[in-house]
Amino acid sequence: MASVMLILAPKEKAVGKETGKKKGKGQLQMQEQEQYMRELKAWLDETADSNLEEMAEFFQNRLEGYEEHMSVWRNAYIRMAEYVKPEVKRLLDLGCGTGLELDRIWEKYPNLEVTGVDLSEAMLAKLAQKHPDKNQTLICADYFQYPFEKEVYDMVISIESFHHFKPEKKQKLFQKIYKALPPGGIFLEADYFACCEEEETLLFTECARRRAAFHIPEEQFIHFDTPLTPEHEIELLYQAGFGQVELLECVSGASFVRGIK
């Protein structure tokens, strides 16, 4: 029987702004990389004094045009659905938003049971409105804080959500994801990664500067891109316990990384 449940969980206050620079190039050749870094540094200089927005409010304020804005990753959403196999019966989607990847996944598997976690109540409400006949539990919460059940999800996915956080936060989250999967369970993320260590260091340094300039406490989320390199992301997944981790491909600027428990 289909059911929709929306759960509002307590969450920390978050402050945020995105950098706005999405490469969409996967691994860059040296000349392209140098040009990209010059453009990124110029953009950061131009926006150095820009105000920051609260994370959930950032998305709430852009809800009306959100799906059109995110359509640049249309092929990545389609590809995400192709990685979901028939044996997956229960799926956890972290940072699910309005469910652009779920639109595609439910086309293939209309009876799939989904738990979606996102900070934005407005986006979850839109997801519930789009799919009132689906078996979904939607949780408005910080996925770093919300407790996952152990070994109950066949697959955990996330797309374009994890590139705002420090390695130590990610590692704890990856450990939670690992515990939420049974042996053989799959974690699949599709995200924006730094093209090189220089970009990774630059963005974390600029993020720290803006926190200080705008007096934003470390515990508050900010919507500012701080992606890791694929190598550093994969290392964190191995440290979390995953026995097999691989960088699969880049689709529409979203690089797919898979971990198997």
pLDDT at 208: 93
pLDDT at 169: 95
pLDDT at 150: 95
What tens digit of pLDDT does each residue of 42-95 get?
999 999 998 777 666 666 666 677 777 777 889 999 999 999 999 999 999 999
pLDDT at 147: 94
All domains of the chain in start order, with CATH: 4-19+29-43+51-260 (3.40.50.150)
Enumerate residue ranges in the chain where pLDDT < 70.
1-28, 54-63
The β-bridge relationship of strands 254-260 and 186-191 is antiparallel
pLDDT at 26: 47
Distance CA 26, CA 103 (A): 25
pLDDT at 12: 38
